[in-house]
Amino acid sequence: MASPPTYPLIKLPHPFLTSYRITTTASTPPALILSLDSQPTNGQTPPEPLHNANITFLPLSARPSTSVPPASDNSLWARAYRSPSTTITWTSTSPPSLAQIWNIIHALYLSSPTNEYFRLSLQGPGKETIHTELLTTGLGISHPQPWSGKVIDPSFASSLETNGLLILRSAFWQGAASPFGPRPIWTLGSGTSGPLRKPIHEYPLMPEAYTQTMKFPSEAIYARHPIRRPKPHPGSVCYSRYVPELEEHFSLEVVDWKDKEHLELFNKWQNDPRVAAGWNETGTLDEHRVYLRRLAEDPHVLCLFGRFDGRRFAYFELYWATEDHYGAHYNSSPYDRGRHSLVGDSTFRGSKRVNAWYSSCIHYCFLDDPRTANVVGEPKATGGTILSYENSQGLTIGKYVDLGHKRSVHSVCSREKWFQLCPVFWDGRKKPLESADRAAWNAKL
């Protein structure tokens, strides 16, 4: 007899850290319930409950391969028809909250991250309300129908879903129907609003108004670009995501140049010969204090520590490309964002961890402002390992870029492509595939 499937814990990001557990009912057929597991003392209780004992849902299941359109039919309808499905049922007289439905979808995507979409049926009083809310927030779309005039196999025609929903993985990871306001839940963070009387996520998106940055003659930068929203408060957590394969939270903490511990850690890492070989930023505490202060006062750069369960292991610089020196090397869009990274603590290695932090930094770039169309990079052209990690996240090599201190490649991934891939989960590879792009292995020209 086959053993029952196991499910990971489902945990919310900062500031909540609330944990939920998927359990199987004794009913026939078995159904699943998402129940509260624990509320850590270092987290905040969510403003509304995201679990409900009256809701059950079925494990994702696919139709038999003999009962679906052939792969040669790649229409929207056929792809949806072949996708797995679940049914969410409730016994209460009124429908559950959209936030509770969102958390079940959250649980399904943490448990089965490779599904690009799945079919959803709703069963219970007021299901029309949930149906409309899922459509309105963009988390789901109406199940696609066959194209007009297309001949459908009679065996499929009897099971056409005219009232069904298709839940989109790309929409979920972009924050659709996020339960606590318009900002995606992974970017609520902790302490980001600083002295603001209301949290920043309660305000609308930063309006689009333009300014100019002029840094001549000290730097070769003269650019017209959108005014950027002030950076998250120093010392705050601006991004957080639970990583099931590690059973840990990854988070991004805003560097505070005035914080002695932050400064000393940055100084220690930059003076490590392994790091210095790539960054060339060795120096004294005073020199590094000046460095971090300069970047803190520069609106286009955000300095961050990467953490696993609160333990700092890496340093990142995220920059708006248009007003960066790199913006002069390609035709940047106004909200393109780039990244620099270093792993200071070499004990935090391994393909699972690399995929977790690599994907999370890109995820944050896209979520922080939904107008960000591309994430870019400028890795060293001879850095085969880094280029492979870039490729594994969907970034492709556009061209060589000859900077003053190195030959780089221009790597880029569009918002559409990255959320098509949603590479937030580990694919099981111990190391990424070597890049097949000639630019990656012929870069010493």
Q: Active-site residue numbers?
A: 378
Distance CA 423, CA 427 (A): 8
Is residue 398 within 8 Å of 330, Cβ to Cβ?
yes
Q: How many CB atoms lie within 10 A of CB 284?
A: 10
Look up residue 375 and give its amino acid: V
Is residue 74 within 8 Å of 88, Cβ to Cβ?
no
Distance CA 107, CA 9 (A): 8
Is residue 289 within 8 Å of 263, Cβ to Cβ?
yes
Q: Which residues, in sequence order, are CB contacts of 353 under 8 Å at separation 6+?
A: 246, 308
CA 204 to mean position of chain CA atoms = 21
Beta bridge partners of 338: 319, 376
CA 422 to mean position of chain CA atoms = 7
According to DSSP, the β-strands at 407-414 and 396-402 are: antiparallel
Q: Is-cis flag, bond preceding 29, omega within 30?
A: yes
Q: What is the dihedral of CA 428, 430, 433, 434, to 10 degrees?
A: 170
Q: Measuring CA to CA, which residue among 244, 247, 267, 232 is closest to residue 364?
A: 232
The two three-digit tokens of residue 158, written as one number: 């009897």
Helix locations, 234-346, DSSP H: 260-270, 273-279, 285-296
Distance CA 33, CA 251 (A): 28
